[in-house]
Amino acid sequence: MALRIGDILVEKKIITPEELALAIKEHQNTKEFLGQVLVRLNMITEEKLLKVLAEQQGITFLDLKELKINDNVIASVPAKFAWHYKIMPIRIDGNVLTVAISNPFDMWPVDDLETNLGYRVEISLAVASDIADAIKKYYGVGADTIERILAEAPQEEEKAGAAASQEKVQDLETGAEDASVVKLVNQILQQAISDRATDIHLEHYRNELILRYRVDGILYDTQVSENIRYLYPAIVSRIKVMANLNIVERRVPQDGRAKAKIGNKEYELRISIIPTLYGENIVIRVLSTLMLLSISDLGMEDEELEILEGILAKPHGIIFVTGPTGSGKTTTLYTCLSKLNTRERKIITIEDPVEYELRGVSQIQVNPKIDLTFATALRSILRHDPDVIMVGEVRDTETAQITIQTALTGHLVFSTIHTNTAAGGATRLIDMGIDPFLITSSVEAFIAQRLVRVICPECKAQVTDEKIDIGEAFPGIDAGAPFYRGAGCKACNSTGYKGRAGIYEILVMNAEIRKMVLEKASSDAIEHKARELGVKSLAHSGWEKVFAGVTTPEEAQRVTQIEE
């Protein structure tokens, strides 16, 4: 049999006789199926092999990505069978159940299914990874675990929340065979990390529990078994145990943190729980503990990088990064600190919360419960002789005043402030009650930023049947240049996007801008002057990314709210 399939592959010129001879030798040593050897040695793809095997065996090869499977088929085969046997039910015709498998020589799952479900089972072939994806898509994350927990003793729900809770770093890959809420929570976290999610949302409503992942800044619903709602109290308890929160308290918001491990990678989990009408809602922010931050990775154009490096070379002053929540401000600040983090400098940060750990940087976590605020911490750290200070956010007048006084005494200070544009930074400080003279004396630059989704490189395609009219509002941009979109593929989960890049507006406080701030000019007037001085707007930066093939017109418009 092994030689026969090998001969067929040679005859079809999929492999060479020399490759077949090498594979047979390996097959004789390892006792693997010849096909498995060919795939492992990269002589053939699994898909090509299965297509030939399907032809040889007289069965069908299926592309599961193109199939729509009916709900009644999914309901007829329990999730625990699909996960355990790595099969995907396709259709039911009378008493005949068709399932997709990836190994036509492994027939014991078929016998077990016939015995347990009462159907006559017919097989089709499909790629193993497509089967795994289909199981997740149709059954949901952790569906097999949910079924097993509910089938076992009721006390399992009660004790699961506290099980295996003492270690500081939770290893998500241990206890893989344990059907418990611990395993279920681990599966939810693992799937989020696998999908590149930055946030996990668990939302409880009257008759349902919704699980959503935020990927590249956009929230997506994640398929889960409707029975998960019966386990939600135990899930909440398990997450609280991981974050060292009060399990009994359900009436007030709670915040905590935990560490999770997958393989050799550790992740920081920031956990926030709030009470709602039908139970507690949970949001988990997923942060990699190992961040290699480089200024070149920020996505700035060469001209912008040159301006930023010039600002970083200044011995004192304040650099404010502005933008809404989730626009990448903290990452930009950390990147700037990494650039300045040398043995000759003392760097201290005050943050709420500390998102990433930076070696060689003294990081302070704000704690209002003990009156450790941005303002109180700032007063103390000046006695520690810092060269560079980062204040996570200027939220009030007191923090703004102390931050400015710190810069005036010879320190380089980084901070964030919530405004929509760079020009709005100065007017926001004036609104807080800061004297315009102090602003012009201390602030070196306002940097506004947003994050745009990057077109997936796997399915990126040039758009040829469409033109963009951006008028004359953005000088220097060739609107006739080609632009691109992502068609959607497995690599990007059919979204057409994979990853994010920054767009920036850097307003350096030169003599003309300082004069306008002293005169308490409006943010619109300052912005108009900035355009006259050649400062690129966020919209301008967005369109540059479009015609550089980084993002799409729709994404540039979504993020910057501009009109064509």
Residue 563's pLDDT band, with cuts at 50, 70 and 90, is very low
Percent of the chain with pLDDT over 70: 93
**Cβ neighbour number for residue 483 with a 10 Å cutoff:** 23
Q: What is the tens place of the pLDDT at every residue in 196-215?
A: 899 999 999 988 899 999 99
pLDDT, mean of residues 128-146: 85
pLDDT surpasses 90 at 58: no
Cα-Cα end-to-end distance for the chain: 63
pLDDT surpasses 60 at 92: yes
pLDDT, mean of residues 267-274: 92
pLDDT, mean of residues 147-158: 63
pLDDT surpasses 50 at 157: no
Tell me which residue has tokens 């109180």.
Answer: 376
pLDDT surpasses 50 at 506: yes
Q: What is the tens place of the pLDDT at every residue in 334-361?
A: 899 999 999 999 999 998 888 778 888 9
Q: Considering only CA atoms, which of 507, 403, 395 is closest in space to residue 447?
A: 507
Q: What is the tens place of the pLDDT at every residue in 452-471?
A: 999 999 999 998 888 887 76
- Name which of 148-162, 192-206, 215-229, 408-422 the model is least confident about: 148-162
Q: Are strands 362-365 and 443-455 parallel, antiparallel or unpaired?
A: unpaired
- Name which of 138-142, 298-302, 508-512, 559-563 the model is least confident about: 559-563
**What's the pLDDT score for residue 564?**
36
- Name which of 170-179, 473-482, 536-545 the model is least confident about: 170-179
Residue 285's pLDDT band, with cuts at 50, 70 and 90, is very high
Q: What is the tens place of the pLDDT at every residue in 313-322?
A: 999 999 999 9
Contact 259, 170 (CB under 8 A): yes
Q: Considering only CA atoms, which of 137, 123, 143, 152 is closest in space to residue 78?
A: 143
- Name which of 288-292, 414-418, 460-464, 536-540 the model is least confident about: 288-292
pLDDT surpasses 90 at 137: no
Q: What is the dihedral of CA 526, 532, 538, 542, to 10 degrees?
A: 170
pLDDT, mean of residues 153-168: 45
Amino acid identity, position 100? A
Phi–psi pair at 203, nearest 5 degrees: -125, 125
pLDDT, mean of residues 61-79: 87
What is the C-alpha to C-alpha distance for residues 122 and 120, in angstroms, rounded to an integer?
A: 7
Coil, helix or strand for 242? helix
**What's the pLDDT score for residue 3?**
43
pLDDT surpasses 90 at 283: yes
pTM, full prediction:
0.77
**What's the pLDDT score for residue 18?**
81
Q: Considering only CA atoms, which of 384, 355, 376, 350 is closest in space to residue 365?
A: 350
pLDDT, mean of residues 438-449: 94
**What's the pLDDT score for residue 172?**
61
Task: Please give the helix or strand (H or E) that residue 415 lies within, else none.
Answer: strand 412-417
**What's the pLDDT score for residue 373?**
87
Q: What is the tens place of the pLDDT at every residue in 354-392?
A: 877 888 899 998 888 888 888 888 888 888 999 999 998
